[in-house]
Amino acid sequence: MRHALIAMRAIVLREALRFVHQRERFIAALVRPLVWLLVFAAGFRAALGLSISPPYQTYITYETYIVPGLCGMILLFNGMQSSLSLVYDREMGSMRLLLTAPLSRTWLLFSKLLGSTIISILQVYAFLLVAWLFDITLPPLGYIAVLPALVLGGMMLGALGLALSSFIKQLENFAGVMNFVIFPMFFLSSALYPLWKMAESSELLHDICAANPFTHAVELIRFALYVEWNGMALLWTALATAAFMAFAVWGYDPARGMMTRKG
Partner 1 sequence: MSLQVSDLAFSYGSKTALDNVSFAVERGRFAALLGPNGAGKSTLFSLLTRLFVTQAGTICIAGHDLKVSPLAAMADLGVVFQQTTLDLDLTVRQNLRYFAALHGISGRVADRRIDAALERLGMAERAAEKARGLNGGHRRRTEIARALLHDPKVLLLDEPTVGLDAPTRAALTQHIHDLCSDTGVTVLWATHLTDEVLDSDQVILLHRGRVLADGRCDALRGAAPLTEYFAHMTGASA
Residues interacting with partner 1, by CB under 8 A?
2-4, 6-7, 9-11, 13-14, 17-18, 21, 89-90, 92-94, 96-104, 253-255, 259-261, 263
- Residue 162 CB, shortest distance to partner 1, in Å, is 17
* Nearer residue to partner 1 within complex by CB, 20 or 211: 20
- Residue 90 CB, shortest distance to partner 1, in Å, is 7
- Residue 82 CB, shortest distance to partner 1, in Å, is 14
Among candidate residues 16, 158, 173, the one with its CA nearest the CA of residue 76: 158
* Nearer residue to partner 1 within complex by CB, 43 or 93: 93
Degrees to nearest 5, angle at CA 31 with 240 and 114: 35
* Nearer residue to partner 1 within complex by CB, 93 or 148: 93
- Residue 95 CB, shortest distance to partner 1, in Å, is 9
Cβ 101 vs Cβ 252: under 8 Å: no
Cβ 10 vs Cβ 114: under 8 Å: no
* Nearer residue to partner 1 within complex by CB, 98 or 155: 98
* Nearer residue to partner 1 within complex by CB, 208 or 259: 259
- Residue 98 CB, shortest distance to partner 1, in Å, is 7
* Nearer residue to partner 1 within complex by CB, 95 or 121: 95
* Nearer residue to partner 1 within complex by CB, 21 or 172: 21
- Residue 103 CB, shortest distance to partner 1, in Å, is 7
- Residue 7 CB, shortest distance to partner 1, in Å, is 5
